[in-house]
Amino acid sequence: MSEQTLSKTTLTETKNASVEIHGLSRAFDGRTVIDALDLTIEQGEFVALLGQSGCGKSTLLRILAGLDDEISGQVTVPSRRSAAFQSPRLMPWLKVWRNVVLGLPGKPDRALATRYLAEVGIDQRAGVWPKTLSGGEAQRVSLARALVREPELLLLDEPFGALDALTRVKAQRLVGELWQRHGCSILLVTHDVEESLLLADRVLVMDAGGIAHEVTVDLPRPRDIGSPEFVAMRTQLLAWLGVHDAATNAAPNVDGNAAA
Protein backbone atom coordinates (compact mmCIF):
# COMPACT_ATOMS: atom_id res chain seq x y z
CA MET A 1 0.00 0.00 0.00
CA SER A 2 1.45 3.34 -1.02
CA GLU A 3 1.31 5.99 1.67
CA GLN A 4 2.27 9.58 2.24
CA THR A 5 2.97 11.66 5.31
CA LEU A 6 1.10 14.90 5.97
CA SER A 7 3.56 16.24 8.51
CA LYS A 8 7.13 17.37 7.99
CA THR A 9 8.56 14.12 9.27
CA THR A 10 10.18 11.19 7.55
CA LEU A 11 7.80 9.09 5.46
CA THR A 12 6.54 6.17 7.49
CA GLU A 13 5.36 2.92 5.93
CA THR A 14 3.39 0.24 7.73
CA LYS A 15 1.96 -3.10 6.64
CA ASN A 16 -0.54 -3.53 9.45
CA ALA A 17 -2.42 -0.24 9.59
CA SER A 18 -4.23 2.12 7.27
CA VAL A 19 -3.64 5.20 9.45
CA GLU A 20 -0.83 5.88 11.92
CA ILE A 21 -0.86 9.09 13.96
CA HIS A 22 1.84 9.93 16.51
CA GLY A 23 1.99 13.10 18.58
CA LEU A 24 -0.32 15.06 16.31
CA SER A 25 -0.99 18.65 17.39
CA ARG A 26 -2.89 21.50 15.73
CA ALA A 27 -3.50 25.00 17.05
CA PHE A 28 -5.50 27.95 15.72
CA ASP A 29 -4.45 31.44 16.80
CA GLY A 30 -2.71 30.03 19.85
CA ARG A 31 -5.60 27.78 20.87
CA THR A 32 -4.70 24.09 20.80
CA VAL A 33 -7.44 21.98 19.21
CA ILE A 34 -5.54 18.70 18.85
CA ASP A 35 -2.91 17.97 21.46
CA ALA A 36 -0.30 15.19 21.03
CA LEU A 37 -2.89 12.77 19.66
CA ASP A 38 -2.00 9.15 18.95
CA LEU A 39 -4.28 6.92 16.89
CA THR A 40 -4.12 3.81 14.71
CA ILE A 41 -6.84 2.70 12.31
CA GLU A 42 -6.36 -0.80 10.95
CA GLN A 43 -6.86 -1.77 7.34
CA GLY A 44 -10.55 -2.38 6.70
CA GLU A 45 -11.61 -1.07 10.13
CA PHE A 46 -14.70 1.12 10.54
CA VAL A 47 -14.08 3.75 13.22
CA ALA A 48 -16.59 6.34 14.42
CA LEU A 49 -15.46 9.52 16.15
CA LEU A 50 -17.74 11.29 18.63
CA GLY A 51 -17.25 14.45 20.65
CA GLN A 52 -18.79 17.75 21.50
CA SER A 53 -18.68 20.59 18.97
CA GLY A 54 -15.27 22.21 18.81
CA CYS A 55 -13.36 19.21 20.19
CA GLY A 56 -11.33 18.77 16.99
CA LYS A 57 -13.19 15.95 15.21
CA SER A 58 -13.53 17.68 11.87
CA THR A 59 -10.06 19.16 12.17
CA LEU A 60 -8.64 15.65 12.48
CA LEU A 61 -10.60 14.49 9.44
CA ARG A 62 -9.41 17.47 7.39
CA ILE A 63 -5.81 16.67 8.31
CA LEU A 64 -6.24 13.05 7.20
CA ALA A 65 -7.84 14.26 3.97
CA GLY A 66 -4.83 16.47 3.24
CA LEU A 67 -6.81 19.70 3.58
CA ASP A 68 -4.83 21.01 6.57
CA ASP A 69 -1.08 20.63 6.88
CA GLU A 70 -0.28 23.23 9.55
CA ILE A 71 0.48 20.51 12.08
CA SER A 72 3.19 19.00 14.21
CA GLY A 73 3.67 15.31 14.74
CA GLN A 74 3.55 12.44 12.28
CA VAL A 75 0.54 11.32 10.24
CA THR A 76 0.76 8.46 7.77
CA VAL A 77 -2.20 7.71 5.54
CA PRO A 78 -2.90 5.84 2.29
CA SER A 79 -2.35 7.93 -0.81
CA ARG A 80 -5.68 6.63 -2.12
CA ARG A 81 -8.23 8.30 0.12
CA SER A 82 -11.35 10.34 -0.36
CA ALA A 83 -13.89 12.22 1.71
CA ALA A 84 -17.61 12.99 1.83
CA PHE A 85 -19.00 15.85 3.89
CA GLN A 86 -22.35 16.91 5.32
CA SER A 87 -22.81 19.17 2.30
CA PRO A 88 -22.53 17.11 -0.92
CA ARG A 89 -20.61 19.97 -2.57
CA LEU A 90 -21.77 19.14 -6.09
CA MET A 91 -20.88 21.51 -8.92
CA PRO A 92 -24.26 22.89 -10.13
CA TRP A 93 -22.99 23.54 -13.67
CA LEU A 94 -22.05 19.87 -14.19
CA LYS A 95 -24.41 16.96 -14.76
CA VAL A 96 -24.50 14.35 -12.01
CA TRP A 97 -22.21 11.88 -13.76
CA ARG A 98 -19.61 14.56 -14.44
CA ASN A 99 -19.63 15.47 -10.73
CA VAL A 100 -18.77 11.86 -9.91
CA VAL A 101 -15.62 11.74 -12.07
CA LEU A 102 -14.62 15.37 -11.51
CA GLY A 103 -10.89 15.56 -10.84
CA LEU A 104 -10.02 12.10 -12.14
CA PRO A 105 -7.20 12.00 -14.72
CA GLY A 106 -8.04 11.58 -18.38
CA LYS A 107 -11.26 12.18 -20.29
CA PRO A 108 -14.49 12.14 -18.20
CA ASP A 109 -15.82 8.57 -18.35
CA ARG A 110 -19.62 8.40 -18.14
CA ALA A 111 -19.63 4.59 -18.01
CA LEU A 112 -17.35 4.63 -14.99
CA ALA A 113 -19.48 7.27 -13.26
CA THR A 114 -22.67 5.33 -13.98
CA ARG A 115 -21.18 2.15 -12.54
CA TYR A 116 -20.52 3.85 -9.21
CA LEU A 117 -23.84 5.66 -9.27
CA ALA A 118 -25.45 2.23 -9.67
CA GLU A 119 -23.62 1.08 -6.55
CA VAL A 120 -25.40 3.75 -4.54
CA GLY A 121 -28.71 3.16 -6.33
CA ILE A 122 -28.97 6.37 -8.32
CA ASP A 123 -27.63 5.57 -11.80
CA GLN A 124 -30.99 6.56 -13.33
CA ARG A 125 -30.17 10.17 -12.37
CA ALA A 126 -26.75 10.25 -14.04
CA GLY A 127 -27.77 12.76 -16.72
CA VAL A 128 -29.65 15.32 -14.61
CA TRP A 129 -28.52 18.59 -13.02
CA PRO A 130 -27.67 18.54 -9.29
CA LYS A 131 -30.41 21.07 -8.50
CA THR A 132 -33.04 18.45 -9.36
CA LEU A 133 -31.80 16.01 -6.71
CA SER A 134 -33.26 15.52 -3.27
CA GLY A 135 -30.98 15.77 -0.26
CA GLY A 136 -30.66 12.01 -0.02
CA GLU A 137 -29.94 11.67 -3.73
CA ALA A 138 -27.27 14.36 -3.60
CA GLN A 139 -25.57 12.58 -0.70
CA ARG A 140 -25.56 9.34 -2.70
CA VAL A 141 -23.84 11.17 -5.55
CA SER A 142 -21.26 12.44 -3.06
CA LEU A 143 -20.62 8.86 -1.92
CA ALA A 144 -20.27 7.69 -5.52
CA ARG A 145 -17.74 10.47 -6.14
CA ALA A 146 -15.75 9.29 -3.12
CA LEU A 147 -15.90 5.61 -4.10
CA VAL A 148 -14.95 6.10 -7.76
CA ARG A 149 -11.45 6.88 -6.52
CA GLU A 150 -11.25 3.35 -5.02
CA PRO A 151 -10.00 4.68 -1.67
CA GLU A 152 -8.16 2.64 0.89
CA LEU A 153 -9.38 5.21 3.42
CA LEU A 154 -12.84 6.79 3.26
CA LEU A 155 -13.39 9.86 5.44
CA LEU A 156 -16.98 10.79 6.29
CA ASP A 157 -17.71 14.08 8.08
CA GLU A 158 -21.33 14.15 9.30
CA PRO A 159 -22.53 12.87 5.90
CA PHE A 160 -26.08 12.23 7.11
CA GLY A 161 -26.50 15.31 9.29
CA ALA A 162 -28.76 17.25 6.91
CA LEU A 163 -31.02 14.31 6.00
CA ASP A 164 -34.48 13.59 7.33
CA ALA A 165 -34.84 10.62 9.70
CA LEU A 166 -36.02 8.05 7.14
CA THR A 167 -33.49 9.06 4.50
CA ARG A 168 -30.77 9.01 7.15
CA VAL A 169 -31.55 5.40 8.09
CA LYS A 170 -31.37 4.38 4.42
CA ALA A 171 -28.06 6.24 3.97
CA GLN A 172 -26.59 4.57 7.06
CA ARG A 173 -27.49 1.14 5.73
CA LEU A 174 -26.00 2.02 2.35
CA VAL A 175 -22.68 3.08 3.89
CA GLY A 176 -22.54 -0.16 5.88
CA GLU A 177 -23.13 -2.19 2.72
CA LEU A 178 -20.54 -0.22 0.73
CA TRP A 179 -17.94 -0.66 3.47
CA GLN A 180 -18.44 -4.42 3.55
CA ARG A 181 -18.30 -4.58 -0.27
CA HIS A 182 -15.18 -2.46 -0.75
CA GLY A 183 -13.23 -3.36 2.39
CA CYS A 184 -11.71 0.09 2.83
CA SER A 185 -11.02 1.71 6.19
CA ILE A 186 -13.58 4.30 7.24
CA LEU A 187 -13.41 7.15 9.72
CA LEU A 188 -16.88 8.55 10.41
CA VAL A 189 -17.20 11.83 12.29
CA THR A 190 -20.67 12.09 13.82
CA HIS A 191 -22.69 13.49 16.71
CA ASP A 192 -25.08 10.52 16.62
CA VAL A 193 -24.23 7.90 19.26
CA GLU A 194 -26.69 5.36 17.90
CA GLU A 195 -25.37 5.79 14.37
CA SER A 196 -21.82 5.18 15.54
CA LEU A 197 -22.81 1.94 17.29
CA LEU A 198 -24.84 0.70 14.32
CA LEU A 199 -21.96 1.13 11.87
CA ALA A 200 -18.55 1.04 13.54
CA ASP A 201 -16.15 -1.61 14.78
CA ARG A 202 -14.79 0.90 17.26
CA VAL A 203 -16.18 4.16 18.64
CA LEU A 204 -13.84 6.89 19.90
CA VAL A 205 -14.77 9.86 22.06
CA MET A 206 -12.61 12.94 21.53
CA ASP A 207 -12.12 15.46 24.30
CA ALA A 208 -9.50 18.04 25.26
CA GLY A 209 -7.66 17.53 21.99
CA GLY A 210 -7.18 13.78 22.32
CA ILE A 211 -8.95 10.42 22.36
CA ALA A 212 -10.47 10.29 25.84
CA HIS A 213 -12.44 7.04 25.57
CA GLU A 214 -13.09 4.18 23.19
CA VAL A 215 -15.51 1.27 22.87
CA THR A 216 -15.00 -1.86 20.77
CA VAL A 217 -18.35 -2.75 19.23
CA ASP A 218 -18.19 -6.54 18.93
CA LEU A 219 -21.92 -7.02 18.30
CA PRO A 220 -23.16 -9.11 15.35
CA ARG A 221 -24.44 -7.32 12.26
CA PRO A 222 -27.11 -6.16 11.59
CA ARG A 223 -27.29 -4.70 15.07
CA ASP A 224 -30.33 -4.58 17.31
CA ILE A 225 -30.67 -1.16 18.95
CA GLY A 226 -32.89 -2.72 21.61
CA SER A 227 -30.45 -5.40 22.73
CA PRO A 228 -29.08 -5.05 26.29
CA GLU A 229 -25.51 -4.91 24.98
CA PHE A 230 -26.33 -2.11 22.52
CA VAL A 231 -28.22 -0.13 25.16
CA ALA A 232 -25.34 -0.51 27.62
CA MET A 233 -22.81 0.79 25.09
CA ARG A 234 -25.07 3.69 24.16
CA THR A 235 -25.51 4.61 27.82
CA GLN A 236 -21.76 4.45 28.39
CA LEU A 237 -21.02 6.71 25.43
CA LEU A 238 -23.67 9.21 26.46
CA ALA A 239 -22.18 9.28 29.94
CA TRP A 240 -18.75 10.08 28.54
CA LEU A 241 -20.33 12.83 26.42
CA GLY A 242 -22.18 14.23 29.41
CA VAL A 243 -25.58 13.71 27.80
CA HIS A 244 -28.84 12.61 29.45
CA ASP A 245 -29.94 9.17 28.23
CA ALA A 246 -33.61 9.49 27.29
CA ALA A 247 -33.84 5.75 26.65
CA THR A 248 -33.36 5.01 30.34
CA ASN A 249 -35.09 8.21 31.53
CA ALA A 250 -32.18 8.87 33.85
CA ALA A 251 -28.74 10.41 33.77
CA PRO A 252 -26.21 7.63 33.04
CA ASN A 253 -23.20 7.11 35.24
CA VAL A 254 -19.75 6.18 34.01
CA ASP A 255 -20.46 2.46 34.38
CA GLY A 256 -23.19 2.71 31.74
CA ASN A 257 -26.07 2.18 34.19
CA ALA A 258 -28.84 4.61 35.00
CA ALA A 259 -28.16 6.61 38.13
CA ALA A 260 -30.63 6.03 40.92
Q: How many domains does the chain have?
A: 1
Q: Is residue 127 part of a domain?
A: yes
Strand 3-5, strand 153-157: pairing: unpaired
Residue range(s) defining the domain that contains residue 86: 3-241
Task: State residue 180's pLDDT score.
Answer: 92
**Predicted structure pTM score:** 0.87
Mean pLDDT value of segment 116-131: 95
**Among 154, 5, 137, residue whose Cα is nearest residue 66:** 5
17: in domain: yes
- Asked if 191 and 159 touch (Cβ cutoff 8 Å), the reply is no
- Give 123's DSSP letter: G
| Residue 61: CATH number of its domain | 3.40.50.300
**194 domain-assigned:** yes
In a domain, 256, yes or no: no
Look at 260 and 102; give whichever has higher pLDDT.
Answer: 102
Residue 252 has pLDDT above 60, yes or no: no
Task: Pick the range with the lowest mean pLDDT from 28-32, 140-144, 246-250.
Answer: 246-250
Distance between CA atoms of residues 128 and 74, nearest Å: 43
Q: pLDDT for 9-24, tens place per residue?
A: 433 445 445 899 999 9
pLDDT digits (tens, 9 = 90+) for 156-171: 998 888 788 888 888 8
* Domain-located, residue 250: no
Which of 127-131, 198-202, 240-244, 252-256 has the lowest average pLDDT?
252-256
pLDDT tens for each residue of 39-94: 999 999 999 999 988 889 999 999 999 888 888 999 999 988 999 998 899 999 99
CB atoms within 10 A of CB 40: 15
